[in-house]
Structure 1
């Protein structure tokens, strides 16, 4: 709760220091022309550069918590207002590709989008075959964990648009480019952005596989490729009845984090030491905190 309060306070402060143009009654739209980072603050320059132009605002785990997701090219936004701060121009937006509530709003830099007064067609969504999705998932193995990341190659335009002075250290350069994936971002990239971008929605995506009261082995026998082992905050993807893949955040930046393939039995056994298998994830009033579900979405 404290993090959201601080984020909201920071966003209010930035807005006080800027000029804001509201869209008015007529709707305005923006379409992503590049992979477009979407933040929960308009302060892009403060995060990517800071006062000296070379600082990157991260938490103690090396993550940019202001990053919500990276909109894929073709993503359509509704523009609610435009925020100008010096040379920085960002738009406060909403999009059906990320339909989640926000205390501060969502913002995209003007250079990643084109503006239009006419409503554009929605982003094209083509779901790859099951085998192709698995190939893409495995190709991401070894990628680093990035909070809000769903483009494992990163966004090269970040160092062009927010150009740091001098040469960045390799690790800072990777983070600046947002190179890596979070847990739901791993699946989002592999499916061309067809699947939900948030674990809170993945816990109800597709149909539930009954697992309540079952043992590790009994659950393992019920699982099929691309089933999701999910709870609010994390998702693990089943590759087959022997393996899973996930992107997880380690306790120390670069240590035991990123995309890994693990034995399915080991994952289930570890999970069931702290969580109970359930047929439905109940999130109201924290009732889902110590449970997990399996969702089958690829039929």
Structure 2
């Protein structure tokens, strides 16, 4: 069974999507529609913008979404048996399995990006990658650390990202190093994604999600919050709302996809991060990248 997976923020690069735009009439039409819908030329920033321009949350999220979704729509014989996306990538996955239309997905991604940007500005916060410790130890140290700091991304065994207030994350990093972490590295991000500090963004996004039509998908999505196959549009909505303040359980999602019969994982979008994570989670499956 084929599982298509979609990357999140951090996978962006200058020139992303340009090849698609120049070689596919459908891709050109979708990029033009996106520019018109957003009211600015996101395609120009994707194709020619600097790394700093692409790093802004309000640009990054729609850019990664567009690269992923437009690539999926131009693939031949795109018939997924299951889909999943890492954080922002979950919305790309929901367009790929036809729960959301292209326009609805882009609208939600842009609103999500603006809401998250606003939440970041309200509370100075950050994230850190913790390597070489068991999840339970990381969770325990976060729980014992003063201030807000939580496990945010379960990327693969031995790689967990924590998220929260800057002093709490810095203190937790010191404690985690003492506990034997190989690395505890503060990440260059604008805020504490997938933590309670995203609550204002969750409230804002919930309103937009409730006003959006979610259709019956053509295949299950394995959502970050539940890690299991979901096909009910109302459940998908609720899980997508919770996602902003809940951890991304990528390890558990991939394990469940393998358990449910996935033998081939195809990453659709910029970069190859998810292929590397999938290989660390399961040695039984094949991984590849969709041509772009």
The answer to whether the superposition gives a TM-score over 0.5 is no
Q: TM-score scaled to structure 2, two decimals?
A: 0.28
More helix by share: 2
More strand by share: 1
Q: TM-score scaled to structure 1, two decimals?
A: 0.28
